[in-house]
Amino acid sequence: MITRTLLAVTVISWMATPVLAHAFLNHAEPGAGATLAQAPQEIALSFTEKLEPTSSGMSISDAAGHDMEAAAPAISGNTVTVALKPLAAGTYRVSWHAVSLDSHRTEGSYSFSVVPPG
Amino acid sequence: MSNHFTRLAARMHVIPPLRRCAFLAAGLLCLPAAAQAHGILGDRFFPATIASDDPFAADELALPTITSFGHETDYEVEYSKSIFRGFALGIGAGYVDARPPGEQASTGWDNLEISPSLELFRDPGHEIILTGGLDWEIGGSGSQSVAGRSSTFTPTFKYVKGFGDLPDSMAYLKPIAVTGTVGYALSGRNGEANSIEWAGAIEYSFLYLQNNVKDQGFSNFTAHLTPIVEYNFSSPVSAGGGGTTGTINPGLIWSGQVEQFAVEAMIPVNRASGSGVGVIAQLHFYIDDMFPQSLGRPIFGGPR
């Protein structure tokens, strides 16, 4: 029984190569919940899978809902970056959506704050 | 697999003999829905629960699920295939190795189980899914030594709710999610008790915490862990059917890109539920990610 199970698992794993999976957020800069003394000039997100450039993206908004992107997001491989307008002190919301090459979609959002010292 | 407790308890003779077959049949029907859980809903990823059903109708394979409780070990496989978006058909089978002390060992195949499941309501913004299903144990399809001869039907209702919509003042509660199922097991044999099968889970997503609430600096491995506590109960509804029995299962799930591994302890909630702590472990594959252009697609309609 166990031998059959292991054999089946091995066969399935082999058949699955190469794998195209959902793209999950792997790293964000600045990260979720960050409190920054200096306003960032860009947001950079990296994902666990390569992205479909035409269907993936990100937006940044301030507390009043104003868009804070200075340009359209740049998507390369598994990363998305976007340049920002000058950010004043306050809390900002990053909203992203990612479509991996197999067309599976994921999305997410998080906040960070800019709090100048003093 | 909400059947684990009822089946094991019956074989361990912690349930009175007249009710054993009813519990066995009722519990066996709840198996395949656990394979319908590769869930992404709104901002959240829900790992597949292993001791209770969750409401995602998806393409998945649980191979194997190994349960050791008392003097019995079970080896199970479950496969769920999406027929069209929001509707999946599950099939499950298992091999039983029971060796109670002082009694003859019982080994063989359990009855096959078929479980259609239909998503009735889906709200990604509030991370809610409601699903209706039917679990059908095909009586007589397994070995006579371990499987019942009568079929049992269990209409079920399943739900999931993530708490990402909580206010920011409760940010650290946002990674919490709950899943649950309630089913009414209709025994196919006269004189056997029907029962309410109720199970569920509460989980805390490190991935959601890391990516949506506060970057904790987790390693990639740690960020994909989900601490979870599942519960799994059976409550007879007929007079003389006995009291509620079940287990509470604290454990941990690690979810990768196309697979997940989970292990949980099985703690009986009362004396009638058994003695000693069992273990359940599962290797689980997300077929929709492994074969996105073929086996992982619904038979009718587009991809999920």
Nearest CA in chain A to B44: A108
B52 or B201, higher pLDDT = B201
Cβ neighbours of residue B82 closer than 8 Å, sequence gap 6 or more: B57, B58, B59, B88, B288, B297, B298, B299, B304
Contact (CB<8Å) A110/B212: yes
Nearest CA in chain B to A8: B63
**Domain annotation covers residue B295:** no
Contact (CB<8Å) B211/A111: no
Q: How far is A35 from chain B (nearest CA, A)?
A: 10
**Domain annotation covers residue B121:** yes
Q: Work out the burial of residue A72: count CB atoms within 10 Å of its CB; fewer than 13 is exposed, 13-18 middle, 19 or more buried.
A: exposed
Q: How far is B240 from chain A (nearest CA, A)?
A: 39
Q: Residues A7-29, buried b or exposed e (16+ Cβ, 10 A)?
A: eebeebeeebeebbbbbbbbbbe
When pLDDT is cut at 50, 70 and 90, the band that residue B252 belongs to is very high
Q: How far is B42 from chain A (nearest CA, A)?
A: 7
The CATH number given to whatever domain includes residue B213 is: 2.40.160.40
Query: Which residues of chain A are under the pLDDT cut of 70?
Result: 1-20
In A, which residues are within 8 Å of B64 by CB distance? 5
A47 forms bridges with which residues in the sheet? A25
**Domain annotation covers residue B300:** no
pLDDT over 60 (residue B282) = yes
The string of pLDDT tens digits covering residues B23-48 is 333 333 333 332 233 688 989 999 99
Q: How far is B182 from chain A (nearest CA, A)?
A: 29
Which of helix, strand or coil describes residue A97?
Answer: strand
- CATH code that applies to domain A20-114: 2.60.40.1220
In B, which residues are within 8 Å of A19 by CB distance? 257-258, 289-290
| Domain extent listing, chain A | 20-114
The string of pLDDT tens digits covering residues B136-178 is 999 999 999 999 889 999 999 999 999 999 999 999 999 999 9
What's this model's pTM, rounded to 2 decimal places?
0.84
What is the reported pLDDT for B144? 92
When pLDDT is cut at 50, 70 and 90, the band that residue B233 belongs to is very high
**Domain annotation covers residue B51:** yes
**Domain annotation covers residue B297:** no
Contact (CB<8Å) A12/B63: yes
The string of pLDDT tens digits covering residues B7-19 is 554 444 433 333 3
The string of pLDDT tens digits covering residues A82-102 is 999 999 999 999 999 999 887
Number of domains forming the structure of chain B: 1
When pLDDT is cut at 50, 70 and 90, the band that residue B187 belongs to is confident
ipTM of the prediction: 0.80
| Containing structural domain, residue B239 | 3-290
When pLDDT is cut at 50, 70 and 90, the band that residue B257 belongs to is confident
In A, which residues are within 8 Å of B295 by CB distance? none
The string of pLDDT tens digits covering residues A97-107 is 999 887 888 99
Judge whether A48 and A80 are in contact, CB under 8 Å: no
**Domain annotation covers residue B152:** yes
